[in-house]
């Protein structure tokens, strides 16, 4: 059994998409980040960065104690390797998936996250910051569009790279991006959206009655953190 410490955000969806694609048994443990549950001691023991997602694998291969993993990219890689799916085993194929997984983790996710922050969540609308992240988002969508020109999926086969990127494209309108400007991304996005496993992953919040969104109270918890929260 895998426990997935989860909230209804792009990084949370990545992991439930993979778990649904794998068709394995898992338990969702909600961590309401708007209420500060990411700072609870039990959660910090498995996710020291006070961020979702994280998992605990109670039946790890080659270990007799449960294994915990934090960071969505590490989780995708851990599960893909454990179940030998959604990452090729040949070296060139594997390297391609790692490149695009790390591209998402180091660029596409963080930049689009800043785009959401300055363009949507921040009360103080700072034109320079908004323009900086909207433009960088546009550049990154352009990179993805070019990669998808000759392929159905981001790499040669459907992989954890697609599962890492897709949830961040769901909010393209909020990011001030028009998918018609990126026809290959649009085609891929629509194809991803209609995968049954992806549909099931996106049904979880409603099924579990998890309220996403960021209230004023939640914004105070989420957007004012400094080193005092990790002491």
Ligand X SMILES: N[C@@H](CCC(=O)N[C@@H](CS)C(=O)NCC(=O)O)C(=O)O
Count the site residues for ligand X by CB under 6 A.
Answer: 12
Q: Which residue has the tokens 């949830």?
A: 167
Q: What does the DSSP assignment read for 171-196? A: TTTTTT--GGGSHHHHHHHHHHHTSH
Span from 6-14, 121-129, 139-147, 150-158 in contact with ligand X (CB under 6 A): 6-14
- Provide DSSP, 142-165: HHHHHHHTT-SSSSSSS-HHHHHH
Smallest separation (angstroms) from ligand X to the CB of 195? 21
CA nearest neighbour of 193 among 155, 152, 163: 163
Q: Using CB under 6 A, which of the segments 51-59, 91-99, 181-189, 205-213 binds ligand X?
A: 51-59
- Report the nearest approach of ligand X to the CB of residue 154 (Å): 17
Closest to ligand X by CB, 93 or 113:
113
Task: Give the end-to-end CA distance of the chain in Å, rounded to a whole number.
Answer: 32
Binding flags for ligand X, 55-94, as an x/- string (CB under 6 A): ----------------xx----------------------
Q: Which helix (H) or strand (E) holds 24?
A: none
Q: Which is nearer to ligand X, 46 or 156 (CB)?
A: 46
- Select 92 or 213, whichever has its Cβ closest to ligand X: 213
For ligand X, the closer CB: 50 or 177: 50
* Residue 227: DSSP 8-state: G
Under DSSP, the state recorded for 108 is: I
CB of 92 to ligand X, least distance (A): 26
Please, what is the minimum distance in Å from the beta carbon of residue 132 to ligand X? 19
Q: Which of 17, 33, 87, 101 binds ligand X (CB under 6 A)?
A: 33
At residue 55, the 3 state secondary structure works out as: strand
Tell me how far apart the alpha carbons of residues 98 and 88 are, in angstroms, rounded to a whole number. Answer: 10
Report the DSSP pairing between strands 2-6 and 54-57.
antiparallel
Examine residue 156 and tell whether it contacts ligand X (CB under 6 A).
no
**Where do contacts with ligand X occur on this chain (CB under 6 A)?**
9-11, 33, 38, 50-53, 71-72, 222
């Amino acid at each position: 059994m895998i426990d997935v410490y989860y909230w209804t955000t792009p990084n949370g969806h990545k992991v439930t998409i993979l778990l649904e694609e794998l068709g394995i048994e898992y338990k969702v443990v909600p961590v309401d980040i708007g209420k500060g549950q990411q700072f609870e001691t039990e959660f910090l023991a498995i996710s020291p960065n006070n961020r979702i997602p994280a998992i605990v694998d109670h039946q790890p291969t080659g270990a007799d104690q449960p294994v915990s993993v934090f960071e969505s990219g590490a989780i995708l890689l851990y599960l893909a390797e454990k179940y030998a799916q959604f990452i090729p085993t040949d070296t060139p194929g594997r390297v391609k998936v790692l490149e695009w997984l790390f591209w998402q983790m180091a660029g596409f996710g963080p930049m689009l996250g800043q785009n959401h922050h300055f363009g949507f969540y921040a009360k103080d609308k700072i034109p320079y910051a908004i323009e900086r992240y909207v433009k960088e988002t546009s550049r990154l969508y352009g990179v993805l569009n070019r990669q998808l020109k000759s392929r159905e999926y981001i790499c040669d086969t459907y992989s954890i790279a697609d599962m890492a990127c897709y949830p961040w494209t769901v909010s393209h309108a909020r990011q001030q991006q028009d998918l018609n400007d990126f026809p290959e991304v649009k085609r891929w996005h629509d194809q991803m959206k209609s995968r049954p496993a992806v549909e099931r992953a996106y049904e979880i919040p409603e099924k579990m009655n998890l309220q996403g969104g960021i209230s004023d109270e939640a914004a105070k918890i989420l957007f004012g953190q400094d080193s005092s929260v990790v002491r």
